[in-house]
Each structure stands twice: as C-alpha cells, then as structure tokens.
Chains A and B, each alone.
Chain A
Amino acid sequence: MRNLFNFIIRNSHWLVAILLVAFSFYLVFTHNSYQRSVYLTSANSVTGWFYTASDNVTSFFFLKKSNQQLLERNAALEKELYALRRDAGKHEAADSIQVEAFVADSVDPPQFDFIPAKVVNLSFSGVNNFITLNKGASNGIKPDMGVISQRGVVGVVSNVSPNFSVVIPVINPKFRLSAKLKNSENYGSISWDGKNIRLAQLQELPRHEPFHEGDTVLTSFSRIFPKNLIIGYVSETGVSGDDNFNTFNIHLATDFYTLQDVLVINDLFYDEQKALEENLQK
C-alpha cells in the first residue's frame, strides 16, 4: 500500500499532465463554430485590445494599397451611377404620366444595409483560419451575417461580443457556400481544401455546364449573401470524385493577405424569410 502511495506521489506530475491534456482535448472536440463561448476566442475584450493595438500599427503600412482600392471602387460605383441615371432618365421620358396616389414610397425599402468594419486580426497560417473585426453586437452585428470586401465575398460572422466579432472566412474548411458561374443558373458549392489561401474549390457543378478559364463565379441562393456577388474567377479544372460533376479551382477575388476594410451585410428581411421558411418545416 505504501509503495502504491509512493508511486502515485512520485509520478503525480504525470497525472497532472494527463488531466490537463484531457481537458485540452475536451476543448478541441467540443469546440463548435456555432455555439462556442466568446471568452475562449479572440472576440473577448482582452485579446481584442491586443489585436486592435497591433492593427493600429500595421494598418499604416497598407494605407496606400487601401486607398488605391477605394479609388478603384469609387470609380466603378460612379460609372454605375451614371449608367443608372441615364437609364432612369429614359424611363422618366417614357412614362411621364404616373398615378402618384398609389405610390407610397418613391423607392422600394432597401433589403440590405452595410456596416463598415475594420479587420483587427487575420489568421491564415493554419487550417483554422478566422478574421476578427472591430465591431460587434453594439454596432448591430449578429452571427450568420455575411461579410464582403470591396473585391468580393470574405466570410460569415460566427461569434459576436459587444465590441468585436469573429468571421469564418472562405479560406476555412468549415465554410460552405452555394455558387454559380456567371452565365448560368446551375449551382455548385464552394469549399476550401486548406492548401492555398488564394484558391478555393467549386464543386458539384454539373458536367454539361460549359465554362472557360477566367469565368466569374458568383453567389447563388443563400440566406446570408445577396445574389450575384463576386466570389472569384475560375482558374483551372481540379480533380473530381464524381463523373457527373466538375470541380474547379477558383481564384478568390478577395486578397486575404492585404484585407483591411470589410462590409458586414445586414439583411433586413432575414428574420422574416427565416420565420416563413421555418414555419413550413413545422
């Protein structure tokens, strides 16, 4: 008996180590991107503070590039605005007689509201990539909102604390999104194989679908993103596990290496649509 006690006392550090490792594995396996606690992620305020402080320094180096992108985006929007104005002008001329009494609002209520946010941290060295933003619940951000950059889709909000939020980006194996090629309506699914952060994979697209290198890949039906947002461009055909479907590598439109500013999409009709659809499932 005494020998047993001696043995336990002499080796108790192993016991401690085993307990701690067991606890760590418990964390690994119960860690779920949809229901994890804010305290054990970078959305908590202490880690958020460190990341903000570090970003204040590093964002300075990207100012030039960010400016350039903003200018380009501005130019594109301006062009679109003029095109729309001209178009609107034509309509005005065509039906100058309108029954004003029935028109409650001059413009339809917008479906999407955009919340600008800054990236305070970005991890893409491993397979568990994520992005931390400097806005959270107090700015109206909720889990499951879509996030886009000036170039294209970035990811989906997964965790929110009062002042920070964590985004699961396209370049995370947990990310799934339905997508289609620009000139068709057949849709496939976007995922990431963990190899290259510039390339994602478009799978399950029917084989008869014609395609060319450089074709634009857009969002399809999704509760999270508006339709026809740019995801990326077809770069090459990949290996497909199934004869009936094609798999492509797509070059992501968003450059995650220099990502600084993003927009969080607030779908004002999200709750309404969700309630309606869930109603049906009951």
Chain B
Amino acid sequence: MKLSYLYEIVLFVFLILLQVLLLNRISLFGLATPVLYSFYLLKLPMGRNLFFVILSAFLMGLIIDIFLNTPGMNAAAFTIVAALRKPVMNLFFEKVEYDEFVPGLNTAAGPFVRFTILMVFLHLTLLFFIESFTLFNLMSTLLRIVTSAVITILLIITMDSLMYRRKASEHT
C-alpha cells in the first residue's frame, strides 16, 4: 500500500520533468508533440479515492502550466480527464475487479490499450482546443490532435511494456 504511493509520487515528478524538459521541445513535422503525462492517470489503481485522483491531476496540470507559461490550459484539460476517468474505466474493465487493480499491459492488455486510446484522445482534444480557442483553423488543430495522439499512445504503450518487463524480471 505505502509502496504504491511512493511509486506514484516518483511517477508524478518524473512525468512532469519529462514533459517540460524534453517532450515539449519536440515538434515532429511541426505538428506532433508527445503529451505523455496522462500516463499518470492511466496507472493509478482503479479504486483510488476520486478526490485524490482529481486533485492530483489538477496539481499536475498546474505545475506543467507554470513551467510552460500557459496558466490553466493543461490544468483544465487534465482535471476534466481525471473526472471522467472512472466512467471511462467502467466501459473497458470488469467492475468486479478489486480496488488495487492497476491497469496495464500485464494485467489486461486489450482493455488497457483501448482505455489508453480513448483517454489520450480525450485529453489532447480538450488540451488543443483550449489552447487554440479563437486563433487557428479547425483543420490544423485536428491534424495536431491526431498526430500527437498517435505518438503519445505509441510512447505510452512502449513505456508500459518496458515497466512490465522490468517488474517481471524482478519477480524471477
């Protein structure tokens, strides 16, 4: 139980730094930017207190906003995603599973991938539309959402499979 919290804090800090120091400087074809920090929400245990989920997501978004000089944008998008996390999870995972169930490739590969795809698209759609409220045309925003989402999803699945492999080797 306690170890799981420690693990989450490390993930929280690591993902923020990864996002602001590395990923946000990437702009593939001038369009696609990986937005990997939603990985944090994906890896929280299923039965985690909803206040905790929402507040920590808001905090994470706000910290990233402060780094990126975009007050409110990441925070707004990520808080909405956090609030919708539970209903979305209920779509893909069996309800009977126990509270400490952590979604992942090792626990339920198919549902996890579908869950990731929906969450990432939700997050990026919100984020990019908030970011470009008035300024830019629909097509370029949609293109940015799709390309960024594809890269983000690939990175999340890679990252999860790497973590899974490391854990598996620890057990043996």
Contact of A24 among B25, B33, B72, B132 (CB under 8 A): B72
A24:B61 contact, CB within 8 angstroms: yes
- Chain B residues 129 to 145 lying within 8 A of chain A, measured CB to CB, are 130-132, 135-136, 140
A24 and B135 CA atoms in complex are apart in Å by 19
Question: Which of B65, B67, B69, B83 is most buried by chain A, counting CB atoms within 10 A of its CB?
Answer: B69
Interchain nearest-CB distance for A36 vs B (Å): 7
Is B70 on the interface with A (CB-CB < 8 A)?
A: yes
Contact of B72 among A17, A25, A51 (CB under 8 A): A25
A124 and B68 CA atoms in complex are apart in Å by 10
Is A42 on the interface with B (CB-CB < 8 A)?
A: yes
B69:A42 contact, CB within 8 angstroms: yes
A128:B58 contact, CB within 8 angstroms: no
Interfacial chain B residues near A21, Cβ < 8 Å = 76, 79-80, 83
Interface of B is mostly: helix
Interfacial chain B residues near A36, Cβ < 8 Å = 71
Q: A21-B80, A24-B72, A166-B69 are in contact. Are A16 and B55 (CB under 8 A)?
A: yes
Interfacial chain A residues near B73, Cβ < 8 Å = 24, 28, 128
* A44-60 to B contact mask, C-beta < 8 Å, 1/0: 10010011001000000
A123:B71 contact, CB within 8 angstroms: no
Is A14 on the interface with B (CB-CB < 8 A)?
A: yes
Is A98 on the interface with B (CB-CB < 8 A)?
A: no
Is B153 on the interface with A (CB-CB < 8 A)?
A: no
A193 and B24 CA atoms in complex are apart in Å by 19
A25 and B66 CA atoms in complex are apart in Å by 14
Nearest-CB residue, chain B, relative to A53: B21
Question: Which of A17, A28, A42, A128 is most buried by chain B, counting CB atoms within 10 A of its CB?
Answer: A17
Residue contacts A-B, CB under 8 angstroms, 15 given:
A13-B50, A13-B51, A16-B54, A17-B54, A24-B73, A25-B76, A31-B72, A42-B67, A42-B68, A47-B66, A123-B69, A126-B68, A126-B70, A128-B73, A194-B136
**Given A21-B76, A128-B69, A194-B132, 12 further pairs, Cβ under 8 A:** A14-B83, A20-B54, A21-B79, A25-B72, A26-B72, A28-B71, A40-B66, A50-B17, A51-B67, A128-B131, A173-B135, A196-B30
